[in-house]
Amino acid sequence: MKRNAKVSTAVIRRLPRYYRQLSELQQAGVVRISSSALGKSMGLTASQIRQDLFCFGEFGQQGYGYKVENLKEEIGEILGIGRGHTLIVLGTGNLGRAIIRNFKFSSNGFRLLAAFDVDRAVVGSRVAGVPVYHIDGLEEFLSAHPVSVGLLAVPIAAAQEMGERLVKAGVRGIWNFTNCEISFRRPDVVVESVHFSDSLLALSYMISQQERQDAAGEKEEL
């Protein structure tokens, strides 16, 4: 498979959506799909889809569409599902617990190894089967277990420090749920932040636009 060295962020952001959509199509029993039908189900044009997938090589056949299972597997491979990635969670407050309990790590190719906390009341217990260790044991754990991603669900005040401990101990992927910006000046470390406020503000923009249109419509009617 061809891999272009430089793929745009926008395309990378769409790949997981393709993967999710193709998984749903596969579960619904769809064997083959045209780029226009796939695009329609995702709110994209057929040419956008062809362009996106062309970044990674030749998929599908002119006039025959894509084989759902093959395309899903190819995209899964590009995304790194199946590379045996591992993950630990720092912070077992409400958010950490919610993610440990409900998020399907294995469907995304990750094995959740352990959680860490400072609270002696939870250290030694298990959350949904996952052992909770004291944060003091973080470095020892990391020296014994290769960990691809550290999920930060700690209080804002601890975010940067905990991130630095992970990076120093060799973790290269940080999945940041703290709603604050963290950075490490390390080109080999990737930080992916889930900013709830960016999502709410995008929604706020969209409903505000509708309110403005409604108001303009009512004015015209008068």
Would you tell me which residues interact with its own copies (CB under 8 A)?
3, 10, 12-13, 15-17, 19-20, 24, 78-81, 83, 85, 93-95, 97-99, 101-104, 107-110, 148-149, 172-173, 175, 179, 181, 188, 190, 192, 194-208, 210-212
**How near is the Cβ of 191 to its own copies at its closest, in Å?**
9
Query: Quick one: 140 or 198, whose CB is closer to its own copies?
Result: 198
State the first-to-last Cα distance of the chain, in angstroms, to the nearest integer. Answer: 61
Query: Quick one: 6 or 64, whose CB is closer to its own copies?
Result: 6
Determine the Cα–Cα distance for residues 172 and 147; give it in Å rounded to an integer.
8
**How near is the Cβ of 139 to its own copies at its closest, in Å?**
20
Determine the Cα–Cα distance for residues 76 and 19; give it in Å rounded to an integer.
7
Determine the Cα–Cα distance for residues 191 and 200; give it in Å rounded to an integer.
21
Q: Using an 8 Å Cβ cutoff, are 52 and 86 in contact?
A: no
**How near is the Cβ of 63 to its own copies at its closest, in Å?**
29
Query: Quick one: 21 or 35, whose CB is closer to its own copies?
Result: 21
**How near is the Cβ of 95 to its own copies at its closest, in Å?**
4
Strand locations in 47-134, DSSP E?
A: 66-67, 85-90, 110-117, 126-127, 130-134
